[in-house]
Amino acid sequence: MKKLLYILASSMFLLWSCEPLEDTYEELDKEQGAYSEDISVTLADDDYSTLSTIAGKLGNSDASDFIGDNLAFNEQYPAADFIPSFLGETFVALNKDSRAIVNYNFMQGNPDYIGDYELTYKLDSADYAGAETSLGKLKAFSPAYPPENYMSGLLEGEFADSPDGSIAYASYRVSDMNPEELGDVSPLIFREDFNGSLGDFSSVSVSGDQQWRSASYNDDQYAIVSGYSGGAQENEDWLISPEIDLSEYETAYFVVRQAVNYLDNYENIQIMVSNDFDGADVTTATWTEMTIETKPAGTGWSFVESEEIDLVEFKGESIHIAFRYRSTTSGAATWEVDWLSVETKDAKKPKYTYFDEFFMKDGGEWHQIVEDDFEDGVYVLSVDDYDSMGEPGNHDNFSSSVSPEEYLPVFLSINRPYAQEGEQLIVVFKYYSNRVTFSLASEYVFNGTEWQNSARIVERSEQFVHNGSKWVFDPTVVFTMTTPDYQLIVDYVKTEIDGGADYLNSYKTGEYYFGADAYYENFDLRLSNRTEKNVPGFEGLSTEDAVALTYERLTEAVEVMLMEKYPDATAQVNGVDVHYIITVETYENDLSRGLYTFNFKCVKSGPNPEFELVEAPEF
């Protein structure tokens, strides 16, 4: 174990920039047989792509998307869950007792209260009917039943536990007609949304093992089929509607919303209509392929809504509509159907206007945000704000390709020219990802020079060991202290040290008992601050002794941080002692900068864990 800690302490945060990771792979591939070796790996962009694929193989699609989009891990999707598989695939020759220090990107989370500004709600058919029974026919608000009469109640029903000041991003639609104007004939003949199931549709497999099924991704729910399973497979699968009676209608048409990816031939993706299908044998019925002009390109996941497909040739008849899918060993597309709607023009059809608005809760009521300012510590971006930033104005939102971090710090510096150091602001904005637009929020802090996101990406390191059969996580915790870590010490001084509130700076982000400063992310060891704040313990000491005391308290502060950060710390994992290798930055009394690394060991598991200093740096 002592050797392990020596390797870890001497290797942490070492970036092998002089030798690309690809060269390391090639050198290891040249070795013959299994052997053990200690290596250090810094993940590159391509490695995160590999890790995203690994997460997908492990059945965690959300983690796969997060890692691929952000090139980072976070608390929800920790590196230790995926890196062992990555090491096993990448360093196939390494075997028992091999150790790897892996340096990776870690996305710090926003404070918990940020969640109160990330509420997103898209109204569905049940919401309109629940607001007013007659609106169930329209599936929308209307002039006689405006959204302002109902939105507060709907949002409170969905977010009742949210405190005042919470912000919700809501999507809804308004019809130009009232329900009474529709008359007895509804424009809707048949509709299937595939919400959580295949509904009234039937899945028929003519050949192959793959079949139609229901699936969901974010807010989208749909029917899906793919002939890919470890490779392209030969299949023919049908998804067939129940009988749709058109006998009472002079006109009828259907609209479909679908997505297709990995398509090599549109002849294998067909929408068919039959007027003689008996519900049993799909191969004996007469099927007519419908021509659709507005359809997906076949190379992505974006849903495309078709034009109105006329059913005039089936006037007065009963029909079945079917989605016919075929794949071969050389090509297997993925087909997703979001919804199918069969409608008539016999009745006047309403026109819809779609709205996406922000609402704020105040006194238990939700009110639409019409204007906003920077005075309350929360700011919601407007359409004009997106336009002022350039590219974000193209769609009035951010995305993985139009990152908020590229624009918001500059936007804030322009619009808050007189910000004071330590000032905080929560910015609420729209974000588009995986076909869905939703609300996100970030907390920004002005450090005296620029605005910084408190949820920014930092570098972390962890160690892994090969146990003879696979790579496993080594429980040693390795990190450099960042803003939240320093703030833990500041808060501890305020509440646990006698007179601690007097030792804090005016912004409550730094303290002078230990010297922790959350915004500068270091320990301020200058003696002048101790004298100014009358910090106890320094009275009558020589400069040399006073400096020595700052180092003693620095060590104590790191231990305090560990107790506050890891209240449920475990002394051992799988029989291995858990060590914490912590690096801190300092602003020395002589105005130089320092970098120190501490090695603590957990000697008593939580609650109320205890930590023992194993190795201190040379001050």
pTM of the model: 0.48
| Residue 396, pLDDT score | 94
Inform me whether the pLDDT recorded for 7 exceeds 70: no
Instruction: Please tell me the least confidently modeled range out of 56-60, 356-360, 455-459, 589-593.
Output: 455-459
CA distances (Å), 599 to each of 2, 283, 516, in order? 11, 72, 19
Inform me whether the pLDDT recorded for 18 exceeds 50: no
- For residue 103, give the nearest of 69, 73, 136 by alpha carbon: 73
| Residue 306, pLDDT score | 96
| Residue 184, pLDDT score | 59
Write b or e for each residue in 79-106: b if 16 or more Cβ atoms lie within 10 A of its Cβ, otherwise e: bebbbbbbbbebbeebbeebbbbbbbbb
| Residues 586/597, Cβ–Cβ less than 8 Å | no
d(CA 344, CA 340): 14
- For residue 199, give the nearest of 254, 237, 239 by alpha carbon: 239
| Residue 397, pLDDT score | 95
| Residue 185, pLDDT score | 58
DSSP character string of 371-413: ---STTSEEEPPHHHHHHTSGGGGTTSEESSS-GGGTHHHHHH
| Residues 553/514, Cβ–Cβ less than 8 Å | yes
Q: Using pLDDT thresholds of 50, 70 and 90, give the confidence band for residue 20.
A: very low
Instruction: Please tell me the least confidently modeled range out of 258-267, 330-339, 370-379, 538-547.
Output: 370-379
d(CA 354, CA 173): 4
Reported as a single tens digit per residue, the pLDDT across 408-436 is 999 999 999 999 988 889 999 999 987 78
| Residue 5, pLDDT score | 36
| Residues 201/192, Cβ–Cβ less than 8 Å | yes
Inform me whether the pLDDT recorded for 315 exceeds 80: yes
| Residue 553, pLDDT score | 97
555: enclosing H helix or E strand: helix 543-565
d(CA 444, CA 397): 18
* 3-state helix/strand/coil string of 129-145: HHHCCCHHHHCCEECCE
Inform me whether the pLDDT recorded for 33 exceeds 50: no
Q: Using pLDDT thresholds of 50, 70 and 90, give the confidence band for residue 9.
A: very low
Length of the chain measured in residues: 619
Average pLDDT of every residue of the chain: 89
Reported as a single tens digit per residue, the pLDDT across 557-569 is 999 999 999 999 9
Query: What residue ranges define each of the domains in the chain, with the CATH number in brackets?
Result: 2-108+457-476 (no CATH), 111-185+352-370 (no CATH), 188-343 (2.60.120.260), 372-455 (no CATH), 481-615 (no CATH)
Inform me whether the pLDDT recorded for 175 exceeds 50: yes
- For residue 563, give the nearest of 513, 504, 496, 466 by alpha carbon: 496
Of residues 274 and 134, the one with the higher pLDDT is 274
d(CA 282, CA 156): 48
Reported as a single tens digit per residue, the pLDDT across 137-159 is 888 999 999 999 999 999 999 99
| Residue 373, pLDDT score | 65
Residue 532, classified by CB atoms within 10 Å of its CB into exposed (0-12), middle (13-18) or buried (19+), is exposed
Inform me whether the pLDDT recorded for 23 exceeds 90: no
Reported as a single tens digit per residue, the pLDDT across 440-466 is 999 999 989 999 888 777 788 888 989
Inform me whether the pLDDT recorded for 11 exceeds 70: no
| Residue 31, pLDDT score | 43
Inform me whether the pLDDT recorded for 15 exceeds 50: no
Percent of the chain topping pLDDT 70: 93
| Residue 220, pLDDT score | 83
Instruction: Please tell me the least confidently modeled range out of 226-235, 460-469, 488-497, 503-512.
Output: 460-469
DSSP character string of 149-190: GTHHHHHHHHSTTPPTT-EEEEEEEEESS-GGGG-SS-SEEE
